[in-house]
Amino acid sequence: SMRRLPDTVKGLQEDGQTLIESVPATVQSIQALAQDFVPQVQQVADLLRAPLHQRFALAAEVAQRFAADREEVQALLGLWLEWWRGLLLVKEGASPYLVHSELRQELEGLAAEVDALAVARSLRLIQETLDVLDQNANARMALEHLLLGFPFLEPQAAAPSV
């Protein structure tokens, strides 16, 4: 059963760090992915504006990666947790605590469009997905559930061509 969302964002902030620290992943996978942090999390940012079929496609792709290397996907979801935590920090005016300050500008832009409850829900969903994957759930279904739970934002207007 789904865990209840915290009534306040404050409750989530308090355990946000615990969520990140509890992500099971080997140091090697995290180091390998951390070098790619911005491209890996850019996927999440882009997904929020993407059509539905792209969410299903990414879920299928990540599920295949999970079949080949569970730890790599656990580390990837850990990076996604960190990205959502960053968005929450920016939203709550705590951007000095951002680990990846290179994302500040983009997160500030998104913070205006995503409400705090949606951020809280996304953080919870990632943690629940890590938990169910750990219990050998169907990876593709778990990942689809996760990606469909992320907020849907308006696609950005294309930059005018010069």
pLDDT tens digits for range 71-110: 999 999 999 999 999 999 999 988 888 877 888 888 999 9
Residue 8 pLDDT: 47
| Chain segment 107-127, per-residue pLDDT in tens | 999 999 999 999 999 999 999
Between 149 and 29, whose confidence is greater?
A: 149
Residue 95 pLDDT: 81
Which pTM does this prediction carry? 0.75
Could you tell me which of 87, 146, 86, 95 has the C-alpha nearest to residue 112?
87
The mean pLDDT of the chain is: 82
**Which three-class secondary structure string do you get for the chain?**
CCCCCCCCHHHHHHHHHHHHHCCCCCHHHHHHHHCCHHHHHHHHHHHCCCCHHHHHHHHHHHHHHHHHCHHHHHHHHHHHHHHHHHHHHHHCCCHHHCCCHHHHHHHHHHHCCCCHHHHHHHHHHHHHHHHHHHCCCCHHHHHHHHHHHCCCCCCCCCCCCC
Residue 128 has pLDDT above 80, yes or no: yes
Could you tell me which of 156, 155, 120, 150 has the C-alpha nearest to residue 41?
150
